[in-house]
Amino acid sequence: MWELLWKVAHEKSIGILIGAAFALATAGFASWWRRRREMREIHHGQQFQQLEFVYAFVSTGNDGRRRLVVRMIGCLPLNLFVAKDAIRSHLLGLTRDSVEDELNSVLAMEGKLGSFVLRELHGHLRTLLKESGNRREWWVMAPILETYRPLQYVAPTVLLIRKDDLELFESFETCQDILVHHGSDAAKILTLMEVYRKFGIQQQSLAKARHEGRSTQYLEEMWMLDLCLSTNFVEPTSDEVEEGSLKPFRLPPWDRFEPTLKSLGLNASTQVERKASLVSNVG
């Protein structure tokens, strides 16, 4: 009897040890693979585990030139603030799938799941947002991932753009000379052209559905929000620019985006032509 019990215990302990060893090996491999992927993303400047919130607007300076102002609202780590695994996985999947799609920055928010994600993003936006402006305006909320090659940093972003400014991004000719504070903000101009185009298509679909008496549920992939945001901005003085303490607003460095523009079928004026135009307009 004792021999039988010992044999059974021996056989079961071997099975338990094998199972435990397999579980440890699997967990170790999964941890190694996750770390390897994260290190690769860091090397490429890809921050997929963090969700950023920004707003952008166009304002006119003392010289009469239009400026694109981009402001950070805040950021949240996905694993802490996006509670539902399905939503977090959906966002991570969208961003990782979109990273190679350089020519499309707007993340698709299709169907019921997309609508649920938008609602979740809107809730987090309201948590971070401080409405300190002077008047209420319509703003378009669009989830984006900018992966243009010249950019050194990539993160999923909830972008707010003032609706009245979207018309400026109807074509490249109307917006290529909008001044930017950072060279990387040239990417926002290309993204806003895409937002303008896709938002227009969405509005047409909504209008058609309402005209035909159909439901508009799940048709919106970008939301319109009634917000009171500050649109004041500080222009660097000539002394600050000469000292090098602050960067001036300047023409977008389209030469850095030349392969992207070519893929999009866009042709930017040369830097010399645009600077000459800038001087003649100021004069």
Q: Which residues share a beta bridge with 180?
A: 68, 250
* pLDDT 10s digits, 199-226: 999 999 999 999 999 999 989 999 999 9
* pLDDT 10s digits, 138-183: 999 999 988 887 677 788 899 999 999 999 999 999 999 999 999 9
Q: Percentage of the chain with pLDDT > 90?
A: 43
User: Please, what is the Cα angle at 225 between 224 and 229, to 5 degrees?
Assistant: 130
How many residues comprise the chain?
A: 283
* Assigned token pair, 164: 């009245």
Q: Is the pLDDT of residue 192 over 90?
A: yes
Verdict on whether the full-model pTM lies above 0.75: yes
Identify the pLDDT of residue 191: 95
Instruction: Tell me which DSSP letter residue 44 carries.
Output: T
Do the Cβ atoms of 256 and 152 come closer than 8 Å? no
Give the mean pLDDT of the chain: 81
Q: Is the pLDDT of residue 60 over 70?
A: yes
Give the separation between CA 184 and CA 98, rounded to whole angstroms.
Answer: 19
Q: For residue 258, count CB atoms less than 10 angstroms from its CB and return exposed for 0-12, middle for 13-18, buried for 19 or more.
A: middle
